[in-house]
């Protein structure tokens, strides 16, 4: 027996979104960063210059923090807030897809209240992480660059180049904020998905799982060797006791492996399945 067409479509959508939702948010960050770059640069005009060089004076030193705060406001303004708000809706949409899956495979399924609580907790985690990443990967480095230039009497053009690299990146690497937010969203979105899935699986007593997701050039050996294969609950638990692998997420153990899966930036699902669709050899292997 195999998955019905209806269930297969739900699974495909669930797994596809683990990649496309973070990608869409990341692309939106790129557009916001590039559209706001000129606004950020105009804030540098608040400094005093002589022949293109920043004047080392008390006035400029006092302006550093004010300019940094304005930059943060520009980059995390209405467009950024709208993107984050829409992302939070996608957490709810992903949970709804999971509920739809369990409703299709389990006649007596009802959405447990704790599942919605898990989603709310992960949404809060994502928002806080995104705010912290703005400071860690963008605001703080820009403050340091601005302070160094002001205190050294650096040139406006050099400071502009530094800001451009921080915000937009260069041909070899993406902007700081884009890189940070991409992993944060990828991890929190996937962790939320797997936490909801695992909680329901525990309540319904599933014993078998399908490790499923896409294969990319960046797919790590841990995921590649398991992708598309069925495993018992005990076998999955044993992964959590393995020596840390490439991408291993802190805190991974026999219990948390159902949430952390392949680790950081993993977009795979450990999907609970009915024993009816599990290959005979897998069942015999676990007899």
Question: Please, which residues have CB within 8 angstroms of residue 271's CB and are 6 or more apart in sequence?
Answer: 11, 14, 101, 197, 209, 210, 211, 212
- What is the pLDDT at residue 103? 95
How far is 197 from 85, CA to CA, in rounded Å?
23
Considering Cα of 45, then 50, then 51, then 56, what sign does the dihedral take? negative
- What is the pLDDT at residue 172? 65
How far is 96 from 86, CA to CA, in rounded Å?
15
- What is the pLDDT at residue 68? 93
**Cα angle, residue 200 at apex, residues 197 and 204 outer, rounded to 5°:** 135
Report, as an integer, the average pLDDT of 8-19: 95
How far is 145 from 129, CA to CA, in rounded Å?
23
Within a 10 A sphere around the Cβ of 266, how many other Cβ atoms? 24
Place of tokens 């995390």: 76
Q: Which of 151-165, 175-189, 268-282 has the lowest mean pLDDT?
A: 175-189
How far is 221 from 201, CA to CA, in rounded Å?
26
How far is 164 from 259, CA to CA, in rounded Å?
37
Bridging pattern class, strands 173-174 and 49-50: unpaired
- What is the pLDDT at residue 33? 81
Share of the chain above pLDDT 70, in %: 97
Question: Please, which residues have CB within 8 angstroms of residue 279's CB and are 6 or more apart in sequence?
Answer: 230
Specify which residues 208 forms β-bridges with.
232, 273
How far is 33 from 76, CA to CA, in rounded Å?
9
Report, as an integer, the average pLDDT of 169-196: 82
> Mean pLDDT of all residues in the chain?
92
Question: Please, which residues have CB within 8 angstroms of residue 39's CB and are 6 or more apart in sequence?
Answer: 74
Between 168 and 144, residue with greater pLDDT: 144
Report, as an integer, the average pLDDT of 254-258: 96
How far is 12 from 17, CA to CA, in rounded Å?
9
- What is the pLDDT at residue 70? 92
Structure tokens at 223: 């995921």
171 pLDDT band, cuts 50/70/90, is low
270 pLDDT above the threshold of 80: yes
226 pLDDT above the threshold of 70: yes
Within a 10 A sphere around the Cβ of 270, how many other Cβ atoms? 25
> Torsion angle of alpha carbons 202, 204, 208, 211, nearest 10°?
-70
Between 240 and 29, residue with greater pLDDT: 240
**pTM for the structure as a whole:** 0.89
Share of the chain above pLDDT 90, in %: 74
Question: Please, which residues have CB within 8 angstroms of residue 29's CB and are 6 or more apart in sequence?
Answer: 83, 175, 177, 178, 181, 182
């Amino acid at each position: 027996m195999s998955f019905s067409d209806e269930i297969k479509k739900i699974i495909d959508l669930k797994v596809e979104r683990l990649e496309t939702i973070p990608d869409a948010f990341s692309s939106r960050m790129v557009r916001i960063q590039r559209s706001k770059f000129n606004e950020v640069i105009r804030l540098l005009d608040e400094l005093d210059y002589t022949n293109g060089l920043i004047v080392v004076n008390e006035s400029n030193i006092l302006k550093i923090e004010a300019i940094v705060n304005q930059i943060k406001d520009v980059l995390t303004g209405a467009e950024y807030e709208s993107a984050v708000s829409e992302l939070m809706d996608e957490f709810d949409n992903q949970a709804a897809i999971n509920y739809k899956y369990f409703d299709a495979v389990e006649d007596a399924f009802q959405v447990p209240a704790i599942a919605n609580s898990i989603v709310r907790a992960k949404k809060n985690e994502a928002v806080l992480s995104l705010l912290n990443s703005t400071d860690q990967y963008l605001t703080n480095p820009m403050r340091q660059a601005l302070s160094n230039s002001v205190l050294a009497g650096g040139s406006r053009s050099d400071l502009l180049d530094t800001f451009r690299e921080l915000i937009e990146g260069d041909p070899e690497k993406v902007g700081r904020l884009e890189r940070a937010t991409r992993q944060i969203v990828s991890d929190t979105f996937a962790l939320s998905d797997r936490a909801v899935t695992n909680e329901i699986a525990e309540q319904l007593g599933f014993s078998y799982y399908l490790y499923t997701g896409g294969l990319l050039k960046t797919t790590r050996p841990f995921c590649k060797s398991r992708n598309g294969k069925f495993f018992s609950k005990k076998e999955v638990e044993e992964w959590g006791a393995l020596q840390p692998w490439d991408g291993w997420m802190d805190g991974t153990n026999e219990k948390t492996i159902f949430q952390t899966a392949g680790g950081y930036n993993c977009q795979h699902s450990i999907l609970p399945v009915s024993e009816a669709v599990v290959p005979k050899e897998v069942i015999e292997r676990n007899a």
